[in-house]
Amino acid sequence: MKYWLRKDASAAMMFLLPSGVGFAMFYLIPFVMGAFYSFMDNTVGGHFVGLNNYRELLASESFRKAASNTFYFSAVSVPLMLALSLGLALLLNQSTYLRKWLRTAYVMPLVVPVASIIMIWQMLFDWNGSLNAWLSHFGIARVDWMKTDAARVVVVVVYLWKNIGYNVILFLAGLQQIPKDYYETAQIEGAGRLRQFRSITLVYLTSTMFFVVIMSIINSFKVFRETYLIAGDYPHDSIYMMQHYMNNMFMSLDIQKLTAAANLMFCCILLVVIILFTLERQHRRYME
């Protein structure tokens, strides 16, 4: 038995070795080097300066603006993503007309590259774009979407459009694992739809919901791609995100501030993930 266990373990290690080497080369080692450089005054022949780079970073007005915009975007978009994706999943889980076509429609944004259709979004939200033409037709004043605070609305809409399909799939998988006997029993005992949703659906979707929240938060910190393609290097102040700041630091070769900002963002995401996993573990113990 020990021989077979050792043999299986050796085979598993051999299969995992290529992935482990790739992960170490492209993720782990660069991350450790970045964390190391954030405490140096130069990447070549530098000296240890402690937390000086972090102090300069926190004193930077552009960094504070990028951090506040990023957290504001996450605080708004993640709850919206959670509510909309859960509502659509509940709708698609029913015997809805054209249900299969609707499922395909929500999945399509996942397989379509953002860069290939970003011109459509630009045409839609431009000053002379389609949306302003419709507003003018109904007697509503035009909105300069990308050069005012309304740019936040555009980025939130693009983010929801791109990521909502993935969350709908996760919620649908969770809904289909809930035994229908629970709902039938609740109906016999006189429980209404709201009581069934609160006492059955939400309870058994808690694990899925925690995972969806974690992925939504991580994706909200990666919204730079959409914002960059729509508004460029220096967008309106309301959509100047953390990755805009890090990209500008990279272009100016300020590696110390770049790595310090990346480490702070990593620590914030890690803290949120740890809190969510702790809550999920407590909920799982409560359910047991």
For residue 84, which amino acid is it? Answer: L
Please name the residue that has the structure tokens 């170490």.
24
Quote the pLDDT of residue 189: 79
Q: What is the mean pLDDT of residues 89-97?
A: 76
Exposed (0-12), middle (13-18) or buried (19+): which is 69, by Cβ within 10 Å?
Answer: buried
Question: Residue 190's pLDDT band (boundaries 50, 70, 90)?
Answer: confident
Quote the pLDDT of residue 98: 64
Confidence check: pLDDT of 11 > 80: no
Confidence check: pLDDT of 33 > 60: yes
Quote the pLDDT of residue 160: 87
Contact 202, 31 (CB under 8 A): no
Quote the pLDDT of residue 203: 81
Question: Residue 287's pLDDT band (boundaries 50, 70, 90)?
Answer: low
Quote the pLDDT of residue 2: 58
pLDDT digits (tens, 9 = 90+) for 68-92: 998 899 899 999 999 999 988 888 8
Question: Residue 5's pLDDT band (boundaries 50, 70, 90)?
Answer: low
Give the DSSP letter string of 161-218: HHHHHHHHHHHHHHHHTS-HHHHHHHHHTT--HHHHIIIIIHHHTHHHHHHHHHHHHH
Angle 112-237-128 from CA coordinates, rounded to 5°: 60
Q: b vs e for 144-165, b when ≥16 Cβ sit within 10 Å of the residue's Cβ?
A: ebbeeeebbbbbbbbbbebbbb
Torsion of CA 94, 99, 100, 103, to 10 degrees: -90
Confidence check: pLDDT of 147 > 70: yes
Quote the pLDDT of residue 1: 53
Give percent of the chain with pLDDT exceeding 70: 93
- What CATH number has the domain spanning 60-287? 1.10.3720.10
pLDDT digits (tens, 9 = 90+) for 101-145: 776 777 777 777 777 777 777 778 877 888 888 888 888 888 888
pLDDT digits (tens, 9 = 90+) for 38-49: 888 877 777 888
Quote the pLDDT of residue 14: 78
Exposed (0-12), middle (13-18) or buried (19+): which is 14, by Cβ within 10 Å?
Answer: exposed
Confidence check: pLDDT of 29 > 60: yes
pLDDT digits (tens, 9 = 90+) for 215-264: 888 888 877 777 877 777 678 888 888 888 888 888 887 888 888 888 88
pTM above 0.95, yes or no: no
Quote the pLDDT of residue 80: 92
Q: Where are the domains of the chain?
A: 60-287
Using CA atoms, how far apart are residues 74 and 78, in angstroms rounded to an integer?
A: 6
Nearest to 155 by CA among 69, 272, 269, 64: 69
Contact 200, 182 (CB under 8 A): yes
Using CA atoms, how far apart are residues 286 and 281, in angstroms rounded to an integer?
A: 9
Nearest to 41 by CA among 273, 257, 201: 257
Please name the residue that has the structure tokens 């702070």.
264
Angle 51-56-61 from CA coordinates, rounded to 5°: 145
Q: Which of 31-40, 105-114, 183-192 has the lowest mean pLDDT?
A: 105-114
Name the strand (E) or helix (H) holding 107. Answer: helix 99-111
